[in-house]
Amino acid sequence: ETNVVLEDEIKMLKDYLELESLRFDNAFSYKINIDEAINTNSIEVPFMILQPFIENAIIHGLLNKEGHDKKLNISFKQNLNNLECTIDDNGIGREASGRKKNIHKNKSRGLEVTKERLKIINKTDDNITIIDKIGSNNEPLGTTVIIKINL
């Protein structure tokens, strides 16, 4: 299937997050928030569209962070004709992650392929917003990724 109802996509994400949490000895916590106005059984989304972004947040942002306060928040809300999916982590941020030598040395094609899928589905390049969260002392506070999916 190329599309799946949002309810099934969220279930798949929960299963994926649970497995990753177990894989990394519960090194991070996660929460999924769904706007009450959304009928998750009537909205279709591209299958596995968020997983590469979530994987990046875990592998590059959260697992590289020192300490135990590693959080991932995923939220869904509907704005007119699109679904807005937000993936927010309090990891080390993109700049610091780029300087670290990560477990995965090969360049991931998951994000590249997903960006292309969104471009085709939405018929625009304006689908993904990435925000580097910076504190008052210029310290990285994590990353927020906002993905818009046309409905």
Count of Cβ atoms closer than 10 Å to residue 95 Cβ = 11
pTM over 0.75: yes
Instruction: Quick: pLDDT tens for 31-59.
Output: 999 999 999 999 999 998 899 999 999 99
Listed ranges 80-84, 89-93, 104-108, 119-123; the one with the highest mean pLDDT = 89-93
Instruction: Report the distance separating Cα 130 and Cα 133, nearest Å.
Output: 10
Instruction: Report the distance separating Cα 143 and Cα 94, nearest Å.
Output: 7
β-partners of residue 14 are: none
User: In percent, how much of the chain has pLDDT > 90?
Assistant: 68
